[in-house]
Structure 1
Amino acid sequence: MKAITTCPVTTKGGEGLLWGTWIHLILFVIVTCTACFWFIQVISRRLAYIRLGNAVKLEGSWRGRWKKAVIQTFGQTKLLKDRKSGMMHAVMFYGFIILQFGALDLIWRGVFQRGLPLPAYGWFELMQELTVVLILIAVGYAGFRRYAEQLTRLKRGWKPSIVLFFIFFLMLSVLLTLAFDHARHGDAYSMMKPLTSGLSSLTDEWPNVAVEAGFYASWWAHLLILFSFLIYVPQSKHFHLITAPVNLLLGRQGPVGVPARIDFEDESLEAYGVGKVEDFSQKQLLDLYACVECGRCTNVCPASGTGKWLSPMHMIVKLRDHLTEKGAAITSKSPWVPAFAHSFASVHRFKPQAGEHRLNAFQPAPVTSIQATMQAQSQAWIQEEENIQSLDLIGDVMAPEEIWACTTCRNCEDQCPVDNEHVDKIIDLRRHLVLMQGELPSDTQRAMTNIERQGNPWGMNRNDRFQWAQDLAKDDDFPAIHTVKELPEFEYLWFVGSMGSYDNRSRSISKSFARILQRGGVSFAVLGNEEPSSGDTVRRLGNEYLFQEICLQNIELFQSYGVKKIVTCCPHTYNILKNEYPQFGLEAEVYHHTELIWKLIQDERIRMSHPVQETLTYHDSCYLGRYNGVYETPRRILNAVPGLRLTEMERNRSNGMCCGAGGGMMWTEEKRGKRVNIARTEQALETAPTMIGSACPYCLTMLEDGTKQLDRDDTVRVKDIAEIVEMSMFGT
């Protein structure tokens, strides 16, 4: 049995013993204070960069904020959407919480030569060992997913992997320190610490001084790795360990995806939108440092998956790097600690031509693939000798093509484990391009001009808006549809929208919904030729000024007719009226047509008695689903249709893929990669349907175009839910 030593140096003289103890303690204090100082310095400097952004006023209750932050942080709810990586992360997350007590115990052992005075100490030791083993398994699995499975969304290289080495060697130092501590005290094998007491048996033939030296070497290795990790974390993507809970706490409450309102009467505003990184709000800048770089956002992005430049993850990373470099220049405080270990001579900039060949070589054979976008982005984000102040946010950090590729579907935000908001940043960048530079794609410019002049994207005569209903009135079997002027007393204002009024295919939806409303005895009226655009397209394209003009005029119109309830067949109109018009004073209940149809079915005001013998797969509209959480109502209606068999696509509900029409992209021709609507149609066809169902005129148009381009329109029909209900009600 080895002798127990109580100091880091074994000598015959007490004076040497005393000096050894003091040197050990002094070094410990110096290293600890230095590490803590550097850690605080790193945090404070990045906070200074975040404070360069515009102040933001938080709304909602703090109780709700704390509840959300606690549930998502400790419940790992978003991470567990990918069950495998979620479990891996949960093991590391809770393992490190448990091991913080183990770290204190190790430090205590090295300083005071005994373990922490805890009750049931043996069980504490067992829990520490089990936790170390689980973390090592999780580290191995993380490496396997990154380098063996080679998940496309995960970056590879020394920077993304360094944390795995940190964790591995940190766990190894824990085991070695405990093993040498067990050996130097001459303790017998214990089932309460089976691994470390087993390892200690390997030193049975070692001299005491070697065992003692092994303990302190391992102890100092653990301390230095621990503090190095502490300093490294806030200087890397792992800053999310600190910022993510704060980001969740300060996140949006209420409706999602609502762009910030610009006060055009505020004379202090010198620019609109975001033209410099410091034009973002402080919360938006906090998003950048909360990013995990897990790639989940890019993995589900319809633009990334079809070979476009946009990658939500790379967007956040590029903005973060640019903020760090520009923040350092503005504050004259280096972001790197210790500063002597880093070089500041170069800055990052985006050069699309550096990765252009990757996108040009994109092969659209798979339904979707993010590989080309991932590789192109990594090659195009390069470091150069350049003055940070000479770089433009739009052009040198974000390419305009990236900004205009977004469909605003919010699938990226739904998948993000730290609740980053990508879409609002893109809309702010678009606002700067449109309002300050007057730049936007020519086809979207045409649509926006037509909306401004005629109230619809095609530029058709605004006096023909009600023609669809007048045409229906010529049919003796179809009752007339009344305008608000003809029917002053009504329950619902039906906001038909531009698609339902002008588009020949979407007029069929309007006809079907009108028949449902009339059969259900619903009191409704329409605005007729007075109906304007809802303004969704122009707001998503960045023309906030035109949107606010449209919005305020619409609210005034609604109020003049005493509108209390609004129903619409378009999820984009539904979302903007329900969630964004209240920013400007609208007080009315807003319904999507599926919600009203389901209410009529529940109240037995309509009956579906004719079988519809079809196999149908349902496509979730982004603005109905991810923006408003309406997933089950359309499915309840479809399941109530006799004879109809409902099948689900692999990507459905909250992870349903966008049809490609959102964010103003309905009016833009895709010039790169695969068309988004083709990819989504291919996903639908994988279920072998005879019919594809939708609840959005935009989605219906995109999917129907997809079946035509894939030569499947003769065997697969695309129908709106209102059309399917009409088929079952009237047998048509």
Structure 2
Amino acid sequence: MTGWAWLHWIGFVVAVGYAVFLFSHVMYSRYLFIRLGREETEEARTGERFRELAVQMLGHRTLMKDRRSGWMHFVMFYGFIVLQFGALDLLIRGLAPEHHLPLGRGYRYFVLLQEITIVLILLAVGYAFYRRYIEKLKRLKRGWKPAVVLLFITGLMLSLLLTESMRAIWKGEPFSVYSPVSSTIAAWTGGIGPGAAELLFYLFWWLHLLILLAFLVYVPQSKHAHLLFAPFNLFWRTQGPPGKLKPIDLEDETAEEFGVGRIERFTRNQLLDLYSCVECGRCTNVCPASTTGKMLSPMELIVKLRDHLTVRGAAITSRTPWMPAFAFANSEANRVALSSRSMAEAGSRTGAGSGRMKAAEMVKAESDSEVNLIGDVITEEELWACTTCRNCEDQCPVANEHVRMIMDMRRYLALTEGKLPSEAGRTLNNIERQGNPWGIHRRERSGWMSGLVDGDHAPSIEEAGEFDYLFFVGSMGSYDKRSMKITRSMIRIMNEAGISFAVLGNEEGNSGDTARRLGNEYLFQELARSNIELFHQYKVKKIITIDPHAYHSFKNEYPDFGLSPRIEVYHHTEILALWIQEGRIVPTQSLEERVTYHDSCYLGRYNGVYDAPRIVLSAIPGVKLVEMERSGNNSMCCGAGGGLMWLEEREGTRVNVERTKQAAAVQPTVIASACPYCLTMLGDGTKALGKEDEMATYDIAELLAMSIGKSYS
């Protein structure tokens, strides 16, 4: 082996060894930072987890919700799998020029596949550049950092082609149809001669290697860390009903706080979310708070938490979070969570008057516990802007759970700090004292019965004796005058269909959903246990409710507190669709309405009920069903979820008005909903737009009652 060959080999070993050392240090640091979180026990369900991983990672199910970027990512993802073998082949050729991957006669087909893949990836990179910097999609960040990766990829592709073309000239190989691109480049540059081609071969080979190693070191320290963490995040995503909150053990006397007030109080799965974020902006793009001018951006919330974890983790573990420090530390430190208003104040407390701290200052601030998770990193305004609609989670390609993190921080504010918006405090007090958000006396809960006419009857539990269904009316259906019409319509439909049912009347309690979403886990658990005791006492077998929030709580969250698994829970649209299909209800009167249906978040994204309401509407003669641009699993929230029904919107435009505009765009005569909260918000939206005479708002039960000639509207 010549001196040059020895130098070449030594340089290769040193470069690869140094890059692997840097990469390993950063990855181990991130691993230790994630380990700071609380351990979370998840059911194994290994088979189900592998299926979900395959569907999401290999099938790109969520990514394909945006077809254009989905196909772009598809090309890059599978292209890089092919090119990993190409990179290995290139390394072999550079270290032992007479050898290549041992594929026998199939090697030439591999070379052809590699060149086709390179062309496709270059086209995908060009499209990615176009989307970000020319089309300027609002959800995508611009600047030099996203461009770095595009340059890395372009450099890898071009250096691979140039290396192969120089090798062909050096070895005197003729044009090959199995390597059309590199052969064409070789034909254009063949005049340089074998000696110069050999020199250029090694020059481009080293360029490819150094770009590859730089990419390896850069990835875990950038948003592209999702390449490494997202597969684990997809595999370990929370199983079970979407959006289900986990109970807090309020009797744990060792607990220093309830909820999450420090980054290390999140679970390890939640901290894994942070490093999995792609920063694609899909979550923020669909967030009702963000799109109507509120402070909350789900993507920025994750990014700020991630950066806070990195610095906090460095302070706790005494490990350098960025490697090599001279290349990363200052630029990353200047970015860490200082974008929020109060984080700049944290910077001034540590002596950085400009609101920007160097890495060492930031780590010191974290060590001294001068940076608060809520207040300095994430503002209270952001937390209270969330409607818990889960549209962000539905659109996230790496299965991040933004809402669960927000709820954990809300719980901390409510249970540990006792800090709530004034309206939230009043609402919770009213629920605690009288069992409803208005504070109306609990003895008036059955007041809606006085409006029943024409022989309609809602038998009480005692009166009914044996019954098939408990109709849980809910606070909106019991106290809100507009929602009472939904309640009475359901009573009329059930009487018409000959259904055996009963109501609890004044014994009925609040479902507790509002309390839980406003962070008061204690009140929720108290209400849940009280309701469960009542259901079991009266031997309830099946429950129907018009409230998707109560439906979600009963079906998915009450079992954690002892609700019998034998009790079946139905939303009224599910049971109405079933009765229509069974022939119990036959809509006969034509309504002649152009109807657009608004999907409730807690019915759709939380529980997957999309078809039942449409089955009911399609069964009504004369109804022409038209879909809004945002419908189904991408339906926009009405603005009432997460307890925000009871809070004032003080920033930006009103969410319900924006949603009503989307409905108005398809020119309906009726906006249909399947939730009393949604109905209220959309009704207010039509009034705010001055369109209440053009567009009526009805619940699906009301429309069905009209069609069977039994209307209360």
Do Structure 1 and Structure 2 share a fold, with TM-score over 0.5?
A: yes
Q: Helix, strand or coil: the match of 2:467? A: coil
Q: Helix, strand or coil: the match of 2:312? A: helix
1:20 aligns with 2:4: yes
- Select 2:326's aligned residue among 313, 319, 340: 340
Contact in 1 for aligned 2:682/2:697 (Cα 8 Å): yes
- Select 1:136's aligned residue among 95, 103, 122: 122
Q: Which amino acid aligns with 2:11?
A: L
Cα displacement string for residues 55-90 of structure 1 (whole angstroms, at most 9, x for unaligned residues): 010115111001111111000111010000000000
Q: Which runs of 5+ in 2 are unaligned?
A: 345-353
* Cross-structure match for 1:10: none
1: CA distance, partners of 2:133 / 2:357: 26
Q: 1:637–1:348: structure 2 CA closer, same or farther, 3 Å change rule?
A: same
Cα displacement string for residues 674-723 of structure 1 (whole angstroms, at most 9, x for unaligned residues): 00000000000001111100000000000000001111111210000000
* Cross-structure match for 2:611: 632
Contact in 2 for aligned 1:303/1:309 (Cα 8 Å): yes
Q: RMSD value over aligned CA atoms?
A: 1.6
Q: State the TM-score, normalizing by the size of structure 1.
A: 0.92
* Cross-structure match for 1:210: 196
- Select 1:50's aligned residue among 20, 34, 37: 34
Q: Which amino acid aligns with 1:222?
A: H
1:544 aligns with 2:528: no
- Select 2:686's aligned residue among 707, 719, 728: 707
Q: Give 1:122 deviation, angstroms.
A: 1.0
2: CA distance, partners of 1:598 / 1:121: 59
2: CA distance, partners of 1:241 / 1:349: 22
Q: Helix, strand or coil: the match of 1:590? A: strand
1: CA distance, partners of 2:508 / 2:189: 86
1:573-592 paired onto structure 2 within 5 Å: 573-587=550-564, 588-592=567-571
2: CA distance, partners of 1:21 / 1:353: 57
Contact in 2 for aligned 1:174/1:222 (Cα 8 Å): yes
Q: Helix, strand or coil: the match of 1:692? A: strand
- Select 1:106's aligned residue among 90, 98, 111: 90
Contact in 2 for aligned 1:455/1:532 (Cα 8 Å): yes
* Cross-structure match for 1:645: 624
Q: 1:70–1:231: structure 2 CA closer, same or farther, 3 Å change rule?
A: same
1: CA distance, partners of 2:328 / 2:17: 21
1:683 aligns with 2:662: yes
* Cross-structure match for 1:13: none
Contact in 2 for aligned 1:500/1:697 (Cα 8 Å): yes
* Cross-structure match for 1:115: 100
1: CA distance, partners of 2:449 / 2:13: 82
Q: Give 1:39 deviation, angstroms.
A: 1.4
1:397 aligns with 2:382: no
* Cross-structure match for 1:267: 253
1: CA distance, partners of 2:88 / 2:279: 30
1: CA distance, partners of 2:471 / 2:461: 10
Q: Which amino acid aligns with 1:647?
A: V
- Select 1:323's aligned residue among 291, 299, 309: 309
1: CA distance, partners of 2:148 / 2:613: 47
Q: Give 1:350 deviation, angstroms.
A: 4.5
2: CA distance, partners of 1:349 / 1:314: 9
1:71-82 paired onto structure 2 within 5 Å: 71-82=55-66
1: CA distance, partners of 2:480 / 2:410: 27
Contact in 2 for aligned 1:240/1:291 (Cα 8 Å): yes
Q: Helix, strand or coil: the match of 2:329? A: coil
Q: Give 1:415 deviation, angstroms.
A: 0.3
Contact in 2 for aligned 1:351/1:381 (Cα 8 Å): no
Cα displacement string for residues 134-162 of structure 1 (whole angstroms, at most 9, x for unaligned residues): 10000000000001100000000011221
Q: Which amino acid aligns with 1:701?
A: T
1:525 aligns with 2:510: no
2: CA distance, partners of 1:320 / 1:163: 20
Q: Which moved more, 1:111-120 or 1:380-389?
A: 380-389
Contact in 2 for aligned 1:481/1:525 (Cα 8 Å): yes
Q: Give 1:445 deviation, angstroms.
A: 1.0
1:483 aligns with 2:468: no
1:105-504 paired onto structure 2 within 5 Å: 105-113=89-97, 114-119=99-104, 120-343=106-329, 348-350=336-338, 352-353=340-341, 386=362, 387-388=365-366, 389-472=369-452, 475=453, 477-504=454-481
Contact in 2 for aligned 1:272/1:435 (Cα 8 Å): yes
Q: 1:512–1:273: structure 2 CA closer, same or farther, 3 Å change rule?
A: same
* Cross-structure match for 1:598: 577
- Select 2:696's aligned residue among 717, 726, 729: 717
Q: Helix, strand or coil: the match of 2:137? A: coil
Cα displacement string for residues 276-319 of structure 1 (whole angstroms, at most 9, x for unaligned residues): 11110000000000000000000000000000000000000000
2: CA distance, partners of 1:533 / 1:382: 48
Contact in 2 for aligned 1:35/1:231 (Cα 8 Å): yes
Cα displacement string for residues 422-478 of structure 1 (whole angstroms, at most 9, x for unaligned residues): 000000000011111111111111111100000000000000001111342xx3x22
Contact in 1 for aligned 2:64/2:70 (Cα 8 Å): yes
* Cross-structure match for 2:347: none
Contact in 2 for aligned 1:52/1:278 (Cα 8 Å): yes
* Cross-structure match for 1:373: none
Q: Which amino acid aligns with 2:406?
A: I
1: CA distance, partners of 2:117 / 2:336: 40
2: CA distance, partners of 1:466 / 1:83: 50
Q: Give 1:349 deviation, angstroms.
A: 4.0
Q: Give 1:346 deviation, angstroms.
A: 5.5
Q: 1:300–1:190: structure 2 CA closer, same or farther, 3 Å change rule?
A: same
Q: Helix, strand or coil: the match of 1:730? A: coil
1: CA distance, partners of 2:355 / 2:482: 44
Paired-residue identity, % = 56
Contact in 2 for aligned 1:569/1:593 (Cα 8 Å): yes
Moved over 6 A (4+): none
1:617 aligns with 2:596: yes
Q: Which amino acid aligns with 2:119?
A: V
Contact in 1 for aligned 2:342/2:376 (Cα 8 Å): no
* Cross-structure match for 2:20: 36
Cα displacement string for residues 239-281 of structure 1 (whole angstroms, at most 9, x for unaligned residues): 1111111101001111010112111122221110010111100
Q: Helix, strand or coil: the match of 2:697? A: strand
Cα displacement string for residues 453-508 of structure 1 (whole angstroms, at most 9, x for unaligned residues): 00000000000001111342xx3x22321111222211111110000000000000
Contact in 2 for aligned 1:515/1:726 (Cα 8 Å): yes
Q: 1:75–1:84: structure 2 CA closer, same or farther, 3 Å change rule?
A: same
Q: Helix, strand or coil: the match of 1:108? A: helix
The size of the alignment, in residue pairs, is: 690
Q: Which amino acid aligns with 2:475?
A: S
Q: Which amino acid aligns with 1:37?
A: F
* Cross-structure match for 2:485: 508
Q: Helix, strand or coil: the match of 1:342? A: helix
Q: Helix, strand or coil: the match of 2:698? A: strand
Q: State the TM-score, normalizing by the size of structure 2.
A: 0.95
- Select 2:81's aligned residue among 89, 92, 97: 97
Q: Give 1:382 deviation, angstroms.
A: 6.2
Q: 1:257–1:50: structure 2 CA closer, same or farther, 3 Å change rule?
A: same
Q: Helix, strand or coil: the match of 1:310? A: coil
2: CA distance, partners of 1:277 / 1:616: 46
2: CA distance, partners of 1:350 / 1:31: 35
1: CA distance, partners of 2:338 / 2:494: 53
Contact in 2 for aligned 1:347/1:383 (Cα 8 Å): no
Q: Which amino acid aligns with 2:433?
A: R
Q: Give 1:335 deviation, angstroms.
A: 1.1
Q: Which runs of 5+ in 1 are unaligned?
A: 1-16, 357-379
Q: Which amino acid aligns with 1:729?
A: I
2: CA distance, partners of 1:633 / 1:257: 21
Contact in 2 for aligned 1:146/1:155 (Cα 8 Å): yes
